[in-house]
Every structure is written in C-alpha cells, then in structure tokens.
C-alpha cells in the first residue's frame, strides 16, 4: 500500500490528525491494535475530556464538530474551591463574551464520532485491529509491515500511540518526567439537581477533585485524584460505600447522587519526550507528552499538536516538498515542544502546591487566587488561556485554512 502519512495509533489525537490530513488531500493510513468498535464500548474508557474553544474551532474545521456537537455540554462557569463551600476563584463565560469556556464530551462519544468521520473521509484508510511486526525509516522512505502480510509505504510516520509509545521507544527517544504517587479515579454520576454547565475543581489534601458537567444537565464526570497507596482500597469498595465516599467529597449541592457504569483508575505522572521528531518521524499527543489532569488540558495539547502538524504538512505538499523534510519537522519540534513544556510545568507546580495540607502555604495560595479573582483584567487573561486562545495557534484553531 502506498500512502503519504502513516499514523500509528487511532485514539482521539491520532484519528483527529488523520481526518484533518485526509480532508486536505494528504493520503493517510491509520494503524491501531484495537478494533474501532472496541474503543466505543462503555467498559473501554470511562473518561470525559474538556474541549477548549480553540480546539472546538479546529474540530469544526475538519468536520468532526457537527458529528459530535449533540453529545457535548458547554462549560459556562468554572468554580475553584478548597472544599464544598469555600470559593476562591470563579470564571464566568459572560465576562468575556458569548462563547462557553469550553465543552465536555465523553471519550467514547468522541471516538464514535471519529469512527464515523474516518469512514466518510476519502483518502483515509484504517488498518485495525492490526499488529506491526517491522518498521523502517531512512532518508528516502518510511515503511511499516503488518502481521497480516500487508506493507505500507509512506513519507512520514506519526507516533500517536500513547504514553507508553512503542514507536517512540523503537526510535530510541527517551522521556523525562516522574510519577506523582497519585492515581486518578474516574467515575460517572447522575444527580437530582442540574449542574447548570458549571465545572468544579476542589483542592483536597490528596489532590484535586473535579466535578465536570456532562450532556443532559443531570450527569457529571468525576476525576478524583487520590494517593496511589490508598487507591486499591477505594476501588475495592462496593457501590454503596464508594458512592458514600464520592458524596462526602461532592457535598450536597447536586442533591441525591447515583453511580453510573464502571469506575476506572489511572496512574498519574509527568513525562515529556526529549525529542518530538526523528528521521521521517513525528510524535503527537501522549506519545510526546503527558501531564497531570488538574487543568483539563491533556487532550487540547494533543489537538494542538495535530493542528500544527497539519499546517506544516499541507504547506509542504503545496510547495512540492517531501512531507518529512528536515526544516518542517524542526519547525514542528520548536513550535510544539515549547508550548507543551510550559503547560507541563504549570500543571506540575499547581498539583504540588495544592496537594497538601500545610495551612500557611494553603492560606497564601488562597490569597493569591482571591487576588486574581478580584482583578478582572488578570482573570480574563487566565480565562483566555483556559479557552486555548493564547499563544502561537495553528491556523485550524484560528478558523483559517491550514498550510
């Protein structure tokens, strides 16, 4: 099979990148070890993701947003507190315009939308489930051989195969980072009182506890950061006891709570690849970087990677260049690594500062956030950061044609 770009990994970032490239006339093949139908099973992934405004604009540009829009919930406010009632930072979208601060979508709904779009997009082939047995990259070509006997030739390989990326490891690219000794417990709840499109972030001694609004008004996704040493004991609780633990942390503002579906847990850590590129290779999404979920920006960073790479590859094709030409890959590395390092550092500092019970430190932090809350110009700047409207944005995220 001859193509132009070979993407290893058909998750949220990899599939989005594939649809974006194919929509611009770049022949693309996605290889994934998981069957597409498995990725939309409720038992596969119970997480939900925040979609920043700039990411929404990019998803609209590739045709995904109209497919998934009915599955999203606008984030109208963000309330940050140190407990059920002690508010010290409040973002309201009406302070800066009509657009929501962002949107929440369950991962399986986004996967289902991407599955539909990949099937409808010309110039895009999905090989899944498929196992890679050999990969070759040199100055003239990139080649991937599959266990079923197929061989795929292209100009560029993109690693979008997650934090443990086998493609990155095979290229000899190291990562720097550390574990947090924290795990994220993820669950979905129904509740009697509407969430009103408000996202809550509670800073507890064990780590942040997020209550994130889902479509329909009476469903929320919980991301409960807990010490790794205690996670197994919480996960082993029966549903009633687990729900009691949740209710204690949520408080009573949502009324009666009901646990929906299975619960999941994920170890947390920070990692950044020492290089985002190699010969005929680019890393995107979690293969390039992994951060703490405290700011809800993990997927948005991956989507920025994808939009930036689309910009660079479309421009290269327009000028008749090799899609893996050195200057283009160097530009991608400089562009995305700096942005991702900044966000990784910010989330690391926030998590370390707030995941403790040292009273003098917490009092100082609260005072600082209260100051931000009472300075409208500074607060609006932070809100625009949360919406993904600050920095060197790819053209797709500005609503423009890429390249």
Closest alpha carbon to 83 in 192, 242, 196, 202:
202
pLDDT score, position 241: 97
CA-based end-to-end distance of the chain = 26
CB 49 within 8 A of CB 28: no
3-state secondary structure of 43: coil
Please state, for a pLDDT cut of 90, what percent of the chain lies above it.
79
3-state secondary structure of 67: helix
In-domain check, residue 227: no
Task: Kindly report which listed range (31-40, 142-151, 307-316) carries the lowest average pLDDT score.
Answer: 31-40
pLDDT score, position 100: 95
Q: What share of the chain is helix, strand, coil (3-state, %, to 5)?
A: 40, 30, 30
**Rounded mean pLDDT, 366-394:** 83
Check residues 206 and 279 and name the one with the higher pLDDT.
279
Is the pLDDT at 69 greater than 60? The verdict is: yes
CB 347 within 8 A of CB 291: yes
Is the pLDDT at 84 greater than 60? The verdict is: no
- Which residues does residue 278 pair with via DSSP β-bridges, in sequence order? 281
In-domain check, residue 13: yes
Is the pLDDT at 83 greater than 70? The verdict is: no
What's the domain count of the chain? 1
pLDDT score, position 373: 81
pLDDT score, position 255: 97
Is the pLDDT at 211 greater than 60? The verdict is: yes
Task: Kindly report which listed range (264-278, 342-356, 358-372, 374-388) carries the lowest average pLDDT score.
Answer: 358-372
Copy the structure tokens of residue 388: 């993904």
**Residues in CB range of 363: below 8 A, 6 or more apart:** none
pLDDT score, position 360: 73
- Which residues does residue 402 pair with via DSSP β-bridges, in sequence order? none
Q: How far is CA 89 from the centre of its chain?
A: 23
Is the pLDDT at 387 greater than 90? The verdict is: no
pLDDT score, position 188: 97
Copy the structure tokens of residue 249: 């942390």
In-domain check, residue 326: yes
pLDDT score, position 190: 97
d(CA 396, CA 313): 13
Check residues 380 and 199 and name the one with the higher pLDDT.
199
pLDDT digits (tens, 9 = 90+) for 28-65: 999 999 998 888 888 888 999 999 999 999 999 999 99
Most confident of 90-104, 222-236, 367-381, 389-403: 222-236
Is the pLDDT at 355 greater than 90? The verdict is: no
d(CA 225, CA 205): 10
Instruction: Output the domain CATH number for residue 21.
Output: 3.50.50.60
**Rounded mean pLDDT, 10-38:** 96
pLDDT band with cut points at 50, 70 and 90 for residue 357: confident
pLDDT score, position 86: 59
pLDDT digits (tens, 9 = 90+) for 171-194: 999 999 999 999 999 999 999 999
H-run or E-run covering 53:
helix 53-62
Mean pLDDT, rounded, of the chain: 93
In-domain check, residue 316: yes
Please state, for a pLDDT cut of 70, what percent of the chain lies above it.
99
Copy the structure tokens of residue 295: 């700011």
**Rounded mean pLDDT, 120-146:** 97
Give phi and psi for 319, each to the nearest 5: -95, 10
In-domain check, residue 93: yes
d(CA 9, CA 98): 36
Look at the block and give the residue holding tokens 């939009």: 307
d(CA 335, CA 397): 14
pLDDT score, position 295: 83
pLDDT digits (tens, 9 = 90+) for 96-125: 889 999 999 999 999 999 999 999 999 999
Is the pLDDT at 87 greater than 80? The verdict is: no
Question: Mind giving me the DSSP string for 78-147?
Answer: EEEESSSS-EEEEEEGGGT-SS-SEEEEEHHHHHHHHHHHHHH-TTEEEE-S--EEEEEE-SS-EEEEET
**Rounded mean pLDDT, 389-397:** 92
pTM as predicted = 0.94
In-domain check, residue 214: no
In-domain check, residue 63: yes
pLDDT score, position 344: 92
Where in the sequence is the domain holding 132, given as residue range(s)? 5-177+270-398
pLDDT digits (tens, 9 = 90+) for 312-336: 999 999 999 999 999 999 999 999 9
Question: Mind giving me the DSSP string for 267-330?
Answer: EEEEEEES-SEETTEEE-GGGTEE--GGGS-HHHHHHHHHHHHHHHHHHHHHTT--TT-HHHHH
Check residues 122 and 352 and name the one with the higher pLDDT.
122
In-domain check, residue 332: yes
d(CA 400, CA 403): 9
């Amino acid at each position: 099979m001859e193509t132009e770009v070979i993407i290893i990994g058909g998750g949220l970032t990899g599939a989005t990148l594939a649809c974006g490239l194919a929509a611009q006339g770049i022949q693309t093949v996605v290889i994934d070890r998981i069957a597409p139908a498995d990725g939309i099973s409720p038992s596969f992934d119970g997480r939900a993701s925040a979609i920043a405004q700039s990411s929404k604009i990019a998803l609209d540009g590739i045709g995904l947003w109209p497919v998934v829009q009915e599955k999203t919930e606008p984030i109208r406010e963000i309330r940050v507190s140190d407990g059920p009632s002690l508010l010290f930072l409040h973002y309201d979208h009406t302070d800066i315009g009509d657009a929501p601060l962002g949107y929440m979508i369950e991962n399986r709904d986004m996967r289902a939308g991407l599955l539909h779009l990949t099937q409808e997009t010309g110039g895009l082939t999905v090989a899944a489930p498929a196992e890679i047995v050999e990969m070759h990259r040199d100055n003239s070509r990139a080649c991937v051989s599959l266990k079923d006997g197929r061989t795929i030739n292209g100009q560029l390989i993109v690693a979008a195969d997650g934090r443990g990326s086998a493609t990155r490891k095979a290229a000899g690219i190291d990562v720097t980072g550390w574990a947090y000794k924290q795990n994220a417990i993820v669950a979905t709840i129904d509740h009697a009182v509407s969430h009103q499109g408000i996202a809550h972030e509670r800073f507890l001694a064990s780590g942040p506890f997020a209550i994130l609004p889902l479509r329909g008004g009476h469903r929320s996704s919980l991301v409960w950061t807990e010490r790794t040493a205690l996670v197994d004991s919480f996960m082993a609780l029966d549903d009633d006891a687990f729900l009691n633990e949740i209710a204690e942390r949520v408080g009573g503002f949502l009324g009666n709570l009901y646990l929906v579906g299975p619960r999941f847990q994920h170890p947390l850590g920070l990692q950044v690849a020492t290089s985002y590129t190699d010969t005929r290779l680019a890393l995107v999404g979690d293969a390039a970087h992994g951060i703490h979920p405290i700011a809800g920006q993990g997927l948005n960073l991956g989507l920025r990677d994808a939009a930036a790479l689309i910009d660079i590859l479309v421009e290269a094709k327009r000028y008749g260049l090799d899609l893996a030409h050195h200057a283009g890959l160097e530009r991608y590395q400089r562009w995305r690594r700096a942005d991702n390092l900044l966000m990784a550092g910010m989330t690391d500092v926030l998590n370390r500062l707030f995941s403790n019970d040292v009273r003098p430190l917490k009092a100082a932090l609260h005072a600082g956030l209260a100051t931000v809350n009472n300075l409208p110009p500074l607060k609006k700047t932070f809100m625009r950061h949360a919406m993904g409207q600050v920095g060197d944005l790819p053209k797709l995220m500005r609503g423009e044609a890429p390249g």
